[in-house]
Structures are given as structure tokens and as C-alpha cells.
Amino acid sequence: MAKPRSRQETVLLGEALTLIQAATNSTNKTPEQEIADFVFKGSHIFSARNGDRAKEIWAEEVECYGFTKGPVVGIAANEAMSFAMHDAIDEFHYIIDDIISTGTLKDGKAVHRFTITGDWSRPLFGVEPNVKTLRIGGISIWQIKNGKVTKAWIAMDYTETPTLAKMLEDLVGAKF
């Protein structure tokens, strides 16, 4: 019968396994896995109110298309757009449903399909809540250069929120 491990031996074994897993995970990832991790991290920076870490993922002058008639330029402006949505929706959840990518973090593109859910409880971009539970699907396409998102194109489905869709139609000039 084997002698049980001491607490110290167990802790050391756990630390060794953690180091092995970290080394394995960082060196054996495919470009697709690296981009998937990047998309997950970049998509949740503002959700987690980690705007100060946005520079790790987003280029300083990132251009995001789909919210206004022109691009929303810069980390601060995009953070403000994101926080406006988060502030209007309680129990905000941003779920990544699918990711498709090409290239690498040095020069690549990533497309992800997402679903936003939550309880719309406060005005959103000046529109009063008209549904209790909000569900918005969307697609985001990212251009990645040297490990940073330089451009993003975002399209969302507002069919469950016609008042918000009308306001955004006036703002963006696109029909939803």
C-alpha cells in the first residue's frame, strides 16, 4: 500500500502540474486557438469594466463601424459606447456563440457571432426600455495587426426592440 502524500508534497505536485499546463498551453496553441482566446478576452474587457486593460487588445485609434454614420474612433469612445449599453442593462451577459478566424495575431481577421442578454431597465442611447428581457444577436468582424484590433465592424439584430432599432436607424442611417 502506497504511503499517502504529505500536504507539502501535494502542494508541490499541484504547482508542478500548473507550470506544466501553463507551458503546454502557451506553446501548443494553434493560431485559431490563440485568436479565439484573444476574441474572448477582447470582447469581455469592457464587460468586466477593465477599460484600463483595453490597450492590451485594442489599438489606440481603433475604428469601430456599425454604431454611427461614421466610425467610432479610439479606445475611450468605444469604451463609452460599451459602458452606455452595460449601464442600461442589468444582468448583462455577452455570450460568444461562434468564432471563425484566418491568419494570426500578427496579421489576421476574426469573426464572432454573439448574443447579448439582460434586463433592460434604464434608457439606452436615449430610448426608454420597452421590453423587460433583452436579447440581441450580432456579428463582429475584427481586423488584427500586431496583436491589436485595428478595425471592427459590428452588426446587431434589433428585431425584439423596435423602438431602439428606429433610433439607431436615424443615428446610423441603416435599416434594422
DSSP notation for 52-73: GGGGGTEEEEEEEESSSSS-EE
In a domain, 46, yes or no: yes
Q: How far apart are CA 61 and CA 48, in angstroms?
A: 21
Q: What is the pLDDT of residue 81?
A: 80
For residue 152, the enclosing domain spans 32-167
In a domain, 2, yes or no: no
In a domain, 148, yes or no: yes
* Grid coordinates belonging to 147: 496583436
Q: What is the pLDDT of residue 5?
A: 46
Residue 69: partners with Cβ closer than 8 Å, 6 or more residues away: 171, 172, 173
Question: What is the pTM (predicted TM-score) of this model?
Answer: 0.73
In a domain, 116, yes or no: yes
Q: What share of the chain is helix, strand, coil (3-state, %, to 5)?
A: 40, 35, 25
pLDDT digits (tens, 9 = 90+) for 122-161: 887 777 887 678 888 899 999 999 999 999 999 888 776 6
β-strand partners of 134: 118
In a domain, 6, yes or no: no
Instruction: Identify the residue whose cell numbers are 495575431.
Output: 105
In a domain, 8, yes or no: no
Closest CA to 166 of 174, 119, 140, 134: 174
Residue, of 67 and 27, whose pLDDT is higher: 67
Structural domains counted in the chain: 1
Judged against a pLDDT cut of 50, whether residue 74 lies above it is answered with yes
SS3 state at 121? coil
pLDDT digits (tens, 9 = 90+) for 1-47: 555 544 444 445 455 555 555 555 556 888 889 999 999 888 887 77
* Grid coordinates belonging to 76: 475611450
In a domain, 19, yes or no: no
Domain with 154 in it: what CATH number? Answer: 3.10.450.50
Q: Given its phi and psi angles, is residue 118 left (phi above 0), alpha (psi -120 to 50 degrees) or beta?
A: left
In a domain, 10, yes or no: no
Residue 18: partners with Cβ closer than 8 Å, 6 or more residues away: none
